[in-house]
């Protein structure tokens, strides 16, 4: 599935200098060369350099003349000798490059350039790694707390619709998730409940997992004929809270059964998020985001809130450095297969 081919030239890279991504060659001729550390810095950006130069070649390739029958070079053909590992490493190296590009600028500009560089590095991913192995590499990246946090957050925002702008990479991820949904949700649950995981990852995983469940619930409702008829009557989309009164919409038996399963799952998820708030090992920003998500769930869903009543365990003084250890306090069962 080569979704990237038709969207490459219209791909939007956020941040300062939209449409302009400095090549590593220019960097080397400027700030990097000035302090005599070009070789060391190049070694830290070798994959970024390869990907960036390949994309520059594609961008600078002249269009075929009108009426020409010569073969058109597809945008990502210059990446054909690379692998998923090259592009993921390039995305991580792009963080370092962004820090050089935006040196001395406000942090918000640095963060925007980081996102722009990650987007550039991964823009050809659907072409380079379109199959099962390519997506498994993405799942392994999400699992590993030793990988760059900005890249993991960037991906977490794009594996489900509604959290980030649509581009070829997000469409690729969401297409792959359709056959890996249970595995992804299991990974997200573990990211949320792992004591030593980064706060930013926990926060994004919480929102991504909720968005995954909510999207499935909305899709289910809109497939029901009774809901479709109600939407015509209301002149607006039906939302889950419209079903709070049982007699308002008579769902088909199949929809009703699936709906009840999802609501039960979301009630379990509410308990998990409530446990995040109660866990003393979580940073305050994580707890604040969990409280906001609990409030949102109560407003958006006809659920029965079930606050966690499990005992609070003492905060771990020194967390393991290499092994991800789920926090027993927050483990929950969504009926998903274990990895």
pLDDT in tens, 285-313: 999 999 999 999 999 999 876 655 443 33
Tell me what the pLDDT averaged over the chain comes to.
Answer: 80
pLDDT grade for 67, boundaries at 50, 70 and 90: low
> Radius of gyration (Cα) for the chain, nearest Å?
23
- Cα 62 versus chain centre, distance: 34
Residue 316 domain-assigned (yes or no): no
Q: Judge if 188 and 326 occupy the same domain.
A: yes
Is the pLDDT at 221 greater than 60, yes or no?
yes
C-alpha span between 316 and 61 (Å, rounded): 56
Residue 166 domain-assigned (yes or no): yes
Residue 66 domain-assigned (yes or no): no
pLDDT at position 39, please? Answer: 63
- For 121-154, the pLDDT digits (tens) are 999 999 999 988 999 999 999 998 778 999 999 9
Is the pLDDT at 60 greater than 60, yes or no?
yes
| Final residue in a domain of this structure, among 179, 210, 238 | 179
C-alpha span between 78 and 74 (Å, rounded): 8
For range 19-25, the mean pLDDT: 43
Lowest-pLDDT range, 26-35, 60-69, 80-89?
Answer: 26-35
For range 329-339, the mean pLDDT: 38
- Domain count across the chain: 2
112: left (phi over 0), alpha (psi -120 to 50) or beta: alpha
| Final residue in a domain of this structure, among 139, 161, 179 | 179
Q: Judge if 82 and 216 occupy the same domain.
A: no
Q: At what angle do helices 132-143 and 181-193 cross, to 10 degrees?
A: 10
Q: Judge if 157 and 238 occupy the same domain.
A: no
Is the pLDDT at 23 greater than 90, yes or no?
no
Q: Judge if 165 and 213 occupy the same domain.
A: no
Q: What pTM did the predictor assign?
A: 0.77
Residue 68 domain-assigned (yes or no): no
Is the pLDDT at 14 greater than 80, yes or no?
no
């Amino acid at each position: 599935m080569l979704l990237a081919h038709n969207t490459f030239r219209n791909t939007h890279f956020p941040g300062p200098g939209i449409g302009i991504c400095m090549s590593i060659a220019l960097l080397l001729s400027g700030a990097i060369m000035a302090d005599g550390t070009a070789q060391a810095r190049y070694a830290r950006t070798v994959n970024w350099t390869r990907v960036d130069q390949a994309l520059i070649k594609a961008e600078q390739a002249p269009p075929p003349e009108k009426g020409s029958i010569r073969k058109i070079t597809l945008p990502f053909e210059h990446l054909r000798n690379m692998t998923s590992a090259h592009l993921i490493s390039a995305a991580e190296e792009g963080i370092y490059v962004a820090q050089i590009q935006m040196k001395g600028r406000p942090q918000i500009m640095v963060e925007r350039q980081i996102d722009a560089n990650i987007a550039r590095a991964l823009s050809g991913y659907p072409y380079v790694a379109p199959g099962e192995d390519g997506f498994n590499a993405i799942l392994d990246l999400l699992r590993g707390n030793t990988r760059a946090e900005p890249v993991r957050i960037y991906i977490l925002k794009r594996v489900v619709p509604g959290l980030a702008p649509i581009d070829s990479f997000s469409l690729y991820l969401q297409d792959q998730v359709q056959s890996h949904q249970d595995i992804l949700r299991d990974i997200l649950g573990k990211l949320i409940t792992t004591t030593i995981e980064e706060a930013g990852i926990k926060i994004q995983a919480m929102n991504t997992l909720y968005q995954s469940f909510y999207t499935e619930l909305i899709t289910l409702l809109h497939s029901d004929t009774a809901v479709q008829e109600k939407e015509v009557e209301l002149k607006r989309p039906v939302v889950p809270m419209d079903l709070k009164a049982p007699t308002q919409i008579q769902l088909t038996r199949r929809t009703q059964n699936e709906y009840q399963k999802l609501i039960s799952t979301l009630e379990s998820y509410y308990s998990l998020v409530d446990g995040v708030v109660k866990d003393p090992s979580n940073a305050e920003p994580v707890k604040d985001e969990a409280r906001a998500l609990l409030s949102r769930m109560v407003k958006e869903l006809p659920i029965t809130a079930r606050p966690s009543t499990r005992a609070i365990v003492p905060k771990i003084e020194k967390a393991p450095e290499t092994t991800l250890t789920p926090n027993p306090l927050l483990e929950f069962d969504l009926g998903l297969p274990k990895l």
